[in-house]
Amino acid sequence: MRVLVLGSLPGEQSLAARRYYAHPQNQFWRLMSGVVDEDLVALDYEARLARLLASRVGLWDVVASARRTGSTDAAMRDISANDLAALVATLPALRAIGFNGGASYKHGLRQLGPAAARYAIHALPSSSGMHTIGLGAKLPVWRELTAYLTP
């Protein structure tokens, strides 16, 4: 894995569907289509994940669990973090970490601590449909991850 994309915590629809970025207004799969240069939106969920792995992209969440009403990151309370430092230690080919949104970036950098210095860190605009920046403005920032996918 060369690139790791970290979200904060899946929203209600994603948790109910047991699928990352399941809300129809979330732009994640369209953004990642631009990163891996393949129409992931046209694929079923398992094929999307397989294509990301084949492209050497991994997904995970910064937050393991939290209490919240609704799906917004601002509503998260009693946050329990995933052990990101332990995860990245198992990924010797990892070159870059993309944080999907401000909450992921804030909590993720804290969790990585000094290990963050070993990677190119990208604070990505949130893929959430609630984020006010449009897809056209988000895509060039997300496409910066493409540079890390080749040897």
With helix as H, strand as E and coil as C, how does 40-80 read? CCCCCHHHHHHHHHHCCEEEEECEEEEECCCCCHHHCEEEE
Among 26, 55, 100, 126, the one annotated catalytic: 26
Is 82 part of the annotated catalytic residue set? no
Distance CA 67, CA 97 (A): 26
Please provide residue 90's backbone torsions phi and psi, each rounded to the nearest 5 degrees: -95, 5
Q: Which residue has the tokens 């984020």?
A: 131
Distance CA 81, CA 93 (A): 23
| Joined tokens for residue 117 | 């210095």
Residue 125 carries which DSSP code?
Answer: P
Which residues have a catalytic role annotated? Answer: 26
